[in-house]
Amino acid sequence: MIAQIKREISTMKLIRHPNVIRMYEVMASKTKIYIVLELVTGGELFDKIASRGRLKEDEARKYFQQLINAVDYCHSRGVCHRDLKPENLLLDNSGHLKVSDFGLSALPQQVREDGLLHTTCGTPNYVAPEVIKNKGYDGAKADLWSCGVILFVLMAGYLPFEDSNLTSLYKKIFKADFSCPSWFSTSAKKLIRRILDPNPQTRITVAEVTENEWFKKGYQPPSFETPDVNLDDVNDIFNESGEPENLVVERREGGPALMNAFELISTSQGLNLGTLFEKQMGVVKRETRFASKLPPKEILSKIEAAAAPLGFNVQKHDYKLKLQGEKSGRKGHLSVATEVFEVAPSLFMVELRKSKGDTLEFHKFYNNISTGLKDIVWKPKDDQNEEAAESLKA
């Protein structure tokens, strides 16, 4: 994992663009790496589609323009993302798009002698046909294909290529077997078909997209500076022979991880502590948290007991659990990571986070398991008084 983590950090350090999430600082202890990122509070573009359905064409175009701006800039810096999808597109509090999650990105050093990349990666529904064929591909052209799929999803509310059988899905992608809904404008249909061209040699380029009449409607080029960036500090972090100057103190061993005030606040949306612990346990995204006053081992035992009837295998490590679904879902087996943090004496925060699988299946899992967790969830007195009042009214 070291090479992949270093690549992700290096990539984010190289990219300074208003539509790409900003990395401010990297710190390290002897065993851990801490990355300070820009705070983005508007959620995922995925959630907007999931809650509202398809977007109007003008709104979809606005996001697509920002996505192309970001991707074009990344390519100009020699970086290919390779996992573009709505879940990796965040929105800030002004509604501006931010590309995130460069864990599968490729730098120029990974290009082989034939000028192509050779690692098959990405999310099947969004991946270009040449990537699946595993014969080498141009990372920039593959990224643009993913952008085309995203544009289709924004305007249609569903995927252009979808099938429960992976082989059948790949056949549809290889042939670009899809049809545009009737509500797409003619010019939008033409652009999408040129982007979702299964032949990368004839596929439209990013430069050609930016000159397209449909794309240029209402277009505002981004304004930003491009500072010189070096990776010396990132290399120092990974240099085992030397001690990096910005060492941080690791947290104590022998109990649940102690969460200090800064870390606690950072889990909240902005600095609004009212949203720190969810009042309604059914409202989750890719992770959720709740507070408990029970001992950590009892908390984990109750989570394990609640997950077992739902068909999940449990692995324990210190004050963490890994819940692995036995049945394969839309995106493979659902995997949920659970950890207990000590916030104060006798008060703990429990975090459940989707580590693999489908986000919507994680929502369903959490709704099912929350019934068995009601007894361990701590609620402040104000919340208890509100519930008592509601009961009296009823």
Instruction: Tell me the DSSP string of 65-125.
Output: HHHHHHHHHHHHTT-B-S---GGGEEE-TT--EEE---TT-B-GGG--TTS-B----S-GG
| Residue 93 φ then ψ, to 5° | -70, -10
Residue 216 to residues 185, 210, 276, Cα–Cα distance (Å): 15, 7, 41
Question: Tokens at residue 280, please?
Answer: 């309604």
Which tokens go with 345? Answer: 């004496």
347 CB-near residues (< 8 Å, 6+ apart)? 291, 292, 293, 378
Give catalytic status of residue 83 as yes or no: yes
| Helix 139-156, helix 186-195: angle, nearest 10 | 150
Which residue among the candidates 47, 58, 83, 177 is catalytic per the annotation? Answer: 83
CA distance 322 to 315: 5
Sequence-separated (6 or more) residues with CB below 8 Å from residue 172: 161, 163, 178
Could you tell me the end-to-end alpha-carbon distance of the chain, in angstroms, rounded to an integer?
Answer: 55
Catalytic residue ranges? 83
